[in-house]
Amino acid sequence: MKFLLKSASFIFHPLWIPLVGSLLYFLFTPRFFPSGVTQAKLLAIAILTIFIPVVFYFLLKNLGKAQSIFLEDVNERKWPLLFFAILVTMVLNQILNAYNYAELYYFFVGILFSTLLAFVLVMFRLKASLHIMGLSGLIIFIIGISLNFKINLTYTISFLILALGITASSRIYYKAHTFNELLLGLLCGVIPQTLVLYFWL
């Protein structure tokens, strides 16, 4: 059980969420996209939302501005969140558009607003759980996909809810967050994704 709880923090790290959401979108959407286009989009998203943030983290670590990839100290979160918001904006401006990829585009709009909400909280020295923020936002997105295309994604949604519960338990067990911080993360993830459903559902 301890191994499962510890692994959850890495397996369901928020950096994976944009790419996972994109993968699930291209997997479940009934629309046709040429495989070359899909691969190019996924590679670009992976570079901007995973590889570049990891490089930025190691830069901060070498400068003594970050101690852990989990950014446990609220003061360490300001620059990574701001930088990530810029990268998500680049995804929206350069990789996706609201006409051809409406669902995925607004998923990233939701991610952008969730990131900015977490950034604003940092300014008030409040720490929201980024793990819970990412997973809860992804759950809302997949529920929206299920409703929009009228496809049964019960197993996928159930798995993500289970992952959310395990991750929340892991963050509490290892004292990385308090219950209130988990709740803040949940609100930061759910509210933006729920609001953007209006534009594509």
DSSP 55-99: HHHHHHHHTTS-S-TT--SGGGSHHHHHHHHHHHHHIIIII--TT
Residues in the chain, how many?
Answer: 201
Q: Judge whether 199 and 106 are in contact, CB under 8 Å.
A: yes
The residue that leads in pLDDT, 176 or 6, is: 176
**Residue whose C-alpha is closest to residue 187's, from 138, 146, 133, 147:** 133
Q: Judge whether 104 and 22 are in contact, CB under 8 Å.
A: yes
pLDDT at 79: 92
Q: Judge whether 103 and 193 are in contact, CB under 8 Å.
A: no
Q: State the pLDDT confidence band at 9, using cuts at 50, 70 and 90.
A: confident
In the chain, what percentage of residues exceed pLDDT 70? 97
Average pLDDT over residues 137-143: 98
Summarize pLDDT for 81-114 with one digit per residue, the tens: 999 999 999 999 999 999 999 999 999 999 999 9
Residue 5 has pLDDT above 70, yes or no: no
Distance CA 148, CA 198 (A): 11
Summarize pLDDT for 30-82 with one digit per residue, the tens: 988 999 999 999 999 999 999 999 999 889 888 887 777 767 778 889 999 99
Q: Judge whether 149 and 30 are in contact, CB under 8 Å.
A: yes
Q: State the pLDDT confidence band at 3, using cuts at 50, 70 and 90.
A: low
pLDDT at 96: 95
Distance CA 38, CA 79 (A): 31
**DSSP-derived 3-state class of residue 152:** coil
Per-residue CA distances from 70 to 9, 115, 127, 130 (Å) = 9, 15, 12, 9
pLDDT at 73: 79
Average pLDDT over residues 119-136: 95
Q: Judge whether 42 and 68 are in contact, CB under 8 Å.
A: no
Per-residue CA distances from 149 to 32, 41, 111 (Å) = 13, 21, 21
Distance CA 189, CA 165 (A): 15
Q: How many CB atoms lie within 10 A of CB 188?
A: 27
Total domains in the fold of the chain: 1
Domain enclosing residue 81, as ranges = 2-200
